Structures are given as C-alpha cells and as structure tokens.
Amino acid sequence: MADLTRRLFLRGAAAGVLGCSAAAHPWLTTVTLAQGAPGFGDHRLVVVILRGAMDGMDALRPVGDPLFAALRPNLAQSGGPGLPLDGFFELHPRLAGLAPLWTAEELAFVHATSTPYRNKRSHFDGQDILEAGTGLDVPQTEVRDGWLNRMLQVVPGMQAETAYAIGREALPLLAGGAPVRSWVPEQRLALSPQARLLLEQVYHDDDLFREAATEAMDLADEMQMEDLAKALMQAEETDMAAPVTGMMTAPAPGRRLADLDRLAGFAADRLRGESRIAAFSISGWDTHRKQAAALAPSLSGLEHLLLKLRADLGTVWDRTAVLCMTEFGRTAAENGSQGTDHGTGGAMVMAGGALRGGRVLGNWPGLEEAALFDRRDLMPTSDVRAWAAWVMRAMFGLDRAVLESAVFPGLQMGDDPRLLR
C-alpha cells in the first residue's frame, strides 16, 4: 500500500508539474480502426480530428478576396508564396507538397464550414459537438455516443469485434454500442532543460520531497499528451495560457513525423486488410500567438500524414477517402500577437483516390465586416456533418433518412455534392 500511495503521489506531482506547463508538445494522436462487414463494400474511410481549431484561412488562403491581406497583414504571406489552386485560393506553403494530390484530383477542401456550435468558442464544447455529430437542440450531457459509432451500428452485418482504439483512450467519435478494443503505443514527453533545472533548484533543499520530485519528473517522460493539450485549452479559455507557454519542449520535427509515420503505418496496414474505417486525432492547432511559427509544424505534419497514407495504402488508396475536421475556425483578422483567436467558420481537408477532388467546395461568404459572424469570424455557409454524411452515403450505401436521423440527428444534408468518383 505504501508503494502504491507513493506512486500515486508521484504521478500527482508529475501532473502538477506538467499541468501548469501544458503548452508542451501538442502532437497526441489517437487511432481507431473498424473492421469490415458484408454491408460495407470495399471502400475505406479515414477520419482525422484536428484538435485545437485549425485556422482554415491560413491553411487555405483566400488571396482572391481583397480584404484578406488587410485583415492579416502579417499572416497573409507568412512562409512565402503559397501554392495557387483555382485563381482564388492558395495552399499554405507547408502544404505545397500535396500538389501531386491536387493535380491528380485526390485532394479537395471545404471552406466556411462548421458544426452547429456557435458563440461560446470553447475547445471542449466544440470538440464534443463535432464528435457527437448532433445539433444544439440535443443537450450534450445526454449524448452517450459518437457519430462514427452510430454509423457502425446501422451497417448490416457488422461483426461484434468492430474497432480498435490506438492511443490512450478511444475517440468520443467512436464511443457507443459498437465494441471497441484499445492498443496504447509508447508516448514520451520531455521537460525542457530550463524547466527541469528550475524544479531541481526548488526541491534541492527539501529532504522530504527532493527524491519524490526527481522521480516525478522522470515519470513525466512517460506520460502521454492528451491531458496536457486539454489543460492548455482549459487554461487558455480562462485567460491563463500566457504564463504557461514555454515550460515544456515539443519533440523535434523529425520525432513528430516519426510518430505520425508509426500511427499512419499501423492504420494503413489494417486498412489493406479487413479494416474499413480508421479515425485518429492530432492536437496542436491552437495558434493564439506567433501563428506563423506555431502553425507550420502542424501543417507539415498533416501533409506528411496524407502522403504517408497514400504511399502505404498502395492500390487501396484508390478506394479511400480521408476527412480532416476541426471543432471550429479562427477569427478573420489576426490579433495583436500575430495569432488568431477562436472563431466559427473553418475549413475541412479531404483526400483520397476515391475522391472527386481538385476542387474547393462550399460557398465563400466574403470578409466584409457585415458578412462576418458576430462581425469577427468567417461566416459558416455549410454544416461539416453534411460533407461527412454524403461521403458515407456514397461509400457504404447508407440511406439518407438513416444518416439524417440515426447518425446525425437533425441534419439536413442538402443537395448531393458528388464527392466520390
């Protein structure tokens, strides 16, 4: 009992050390795999949740809008020239490696899209609504499952062992009646040398806690990232983010890409077999300050992930669609610290050989102040759930009425955008 109590104390100490420095490495990924069933056919669906609210207006720059450069004097050209797509939009330079997918019509985007979430701009609420797939008429406290799990429940002949959660915990996206198994890859987190030195000095003369604190810092290296990312979001939502920045070091770019390689490789290996659905989340998209530097590694990681999936899936890529979704967008104008704050309308990234790509979808609302949501955010002109629903209908033959009631309650899918080949 003493050893157990001690270890709980150490983990608590480590959590306390890290909880106030949650701006650390944001690259937690969680993967879920669902096995095929007779009703599934031969398509593969990959869903990627981009946690932290990706700035769609930076990832996919509306350079053809005359107000874009004025609203973003620093961000509009950060990183150099982007990749021209259609005469109006340019892709961020860190996504320029996706040009072959665009040319092959295996890449598409949806701009000015959002969940039904409005006004409060909380990461937690936004992510809950995104993964629950419900409208605001359904209290989130009453939602016990995610839209991807509900889809699994309505596919005829689904086998009992349907999914694997790879990471610390299953995605809420997949929570529900369809069974889920978990696999936890090794994840490590390192205190910066400055933070560790500071803590060692604090505990140096404390005979009671010095040894325990040292062991707690060692244990910190074994803790995973999601709690830290959530802590940062929570701190930032209560105006406590600034003091915690810089206490921890993010893994080097090569380490980030290696982590994504591992997860994408695992998913691709299963998708080449009997699995038909993969889902994972990537944190690190919250960019309140110095966005040019903060967003670049996340975009590079996303580019790397999509190219890795394409390479590893081989011929299966031709039957695959990848949907990259985020909880909300960011403000139309950059802020005083050359970042952006929580917004509303955002962007969605789609890829895959099954896709009818080479298009930027959705209706662009414009950046005039009167056209902005609350006169500050990009106005949503579509529901992100509808794009996912149309992909699932085309891939798995699900009835529209089932999608609008059982999978995405209350959704109106609108006209068919013909997303797949």
Residue 211: predicted pLDDT = 59
Alpha carbon distance 217, 208 (integer Å): 16
Q: How crowded is residue 19: how many other Cβ atoms within 10 Å of its Cβ?
A: 17
What amino acid is encoded at 275 in this protein? S
Q: Which residue has the tokens 């959704």?
A: 411
Between 175 and 54, residue with greater pLDDT? 54
Contact call for residues 25 and 282 (beta carbons, < 8 A): no
Q: Between these two residues, 302 and 16, which has the higher pLDDT value?
A: 302
Helix (H, G, I), strand (E, B) or coil at 242: helix
Collect all residues with Cβ–Cβ distance below 8 Å to 124 and sequence separation of at least 6.
230, 233, 234, 237
Beta bridge partners of 30: 281
**DSSP strands (E only) in 241-328:** 275-283, 320-326
Quick one: pLDDT band at residue 215, thresholds 50, 70, 90?
Answer: low
Average pLDDT over residues 142-153: 84
Q: Retrieve residue 196's tokens.
A: 């560790």
Q: Mean pLDDT throughout 396-406? A: 94
Backbone phi and psi for residue 277, each to the nearest 5 degrees, phi listed first: -135, 135
> What pLDDT digit, counting tens, does each position of 348-391 carry?
999 999 999 999 999 999 999 999 999 999 999 999 999 999 99
DSSP helix/strand/coil, 324: strand
Reported as a single tens digit per residue, the pLDDT across 239-269 is 444 333 333 345 566 777 888 888 888 889 8
User: For residues 296 and 256, what is the distance between their CA atoms, to the nearest angstrom?
Assistant: 12
Report which of residues 235 and 369 the model is more confident about: 369
pLDDT for the residue 258: 84
CATH code for the part of the protein at 26-189+251-407: 3.40.720.10
What residues form DSSP beta bridges with 182?
Answer: 165
Quick one: average pLDDT of 122-129? 90
* Residue scoring higher pLDDT (42 or 364): 364
Q: Residue 353 carries which side chain, given as an amino acid letter?
A: G
Query: Is 192 a residue whose pLDDT tops 80?
Result: no
CA torsion sign, 70 to 73 to 76 to 77?
Answer: positive
Q: Per-residue confidence at 407, pLDDT binned at 50, 70, 90?
A: very high
More confident residue, 156 or 145: 145
pLDDT > 70: what percent of the chain?
68
pLDDT of residue 133: 93
Query: What's the pLDDT band for 200 if we cut at 50, 70, 90?
Result: low
Class of residue 283 by CB neighbours under 10 A (exposed 0-12, middle 13-18, buried 19+): buried
Lowest pLDDT segment from 99-113, 140-154, 168-182, 407-421: 168-182
Q: What is the pLDDT of residue 261?
A: 87
Average pLDDT taken over every residue of the chain? 79
> In this structure, what are the phi and psi dihedrals at residue 151, rounded to the nearest 5 degrees?
-65, -40
Between β-strands 44-51 and 320-326, what pairing exists: parallel, antiparallel or unpaired?
parallel
Q: Specify whether the CB–CB gap between 94 and 54 falls below 8 A.
A: no
pLDDT value for 12: 42
Query: 3-state DSSP call for residue 7?
Result: helix
Q: Residue 131: is its pLDDT beyond 90?
A: yes
- Predicted pLDDT of residue 174: 77
Kindly state the helix (H) or strand (E) to which residue 111 belongs, with its residue range: strand 107-114
pLDDT band for 320, please (50, 70, 90 cuts).
very high
Long-range contacts of 71-74 (CB under 8 A, 24+ apart): 71/332, 71/333, 71/334, 71/367, 72/333, 72/334, 73/334, 74/292, 74/334, 74/338
Could you tell me which residue, 283 or 1, shows the higher pLDDT? 283
Higher pLDDT, 223 or 72: 72
Q: Predicted confidence band at 283 (pLDDT cuts at 50, 70, 90)?
A: confident
E strands along 302-386, which residues?
A: 320-326, 346-351, 359-361, 382-383
pLDDT value at residue 415: 96
Residue 137 tokens, joined: 């008429």
pTM, two decimal places: 0.79
Q: What is the pLDDT of residue 177?
A: 77
CB atoms within 10 A of CB 363: 12
**Which residues are CB-contacts of 217 (< 8 A; sequence separation ≥ 6)?**
14, 17, 191, 196, 199
Q: Of 156-160, 273-277, 312-316, 396-400, where does mean pLDDT reach its minimum?
A: 156-160
Q: Which residue has the higher pLDDT, 339 or 208?
A: 339
Q: Is the pLDDT of residue 199 over 70?
A: no
Note whether 74 and 334 are within 8 A (CB). yes
Rounded distance, CA 39 to CA 188, Å? 40
- Enclosing H/E stretch for 4: helix 2-19
For CA atoms 255, 256, 257, 263, the dihedral sign is positive
Q: Which two tokens stand for residue 151?
A: 């889809």
What CA–CA distances, in Å, run from 120 to 30, 50, 126, 233, 343? Answer: 26, 19, 9, 14, 9
Q: Which residue(s) pair with 396 in the sheet?
A: none
Radius of gyration in angstroms for the set of CA atoms belonging to the chain, rounded to a whole number:
22
Residue ranges per structural domain of the chain: 26-189+251-407
**Rounded Cα distance, 236 and 10, in Å:** 26
Q: In the prediction, which pLDDT does 141 show?
A: 60
Q: pLDDT-based confidence at 13, cuts 50/70/90?
A: very low
Q: What is the pLDDT of residues 65-107, one digit of tens each?
A: 999 999 999 999 899 999 999 999 999 999 999 999 999 999 9
Q: How far apart are CA 407 and CA 111, in angstroms?
A: 23
Of the two residues 39 and 177, the one the predictor is more confident about is: 177
Q: What is the mean pLDDT of residues 119-139?
A: 85
Reported as a pLDDT band with limits 50, 70 and 90, residue 64 is very high
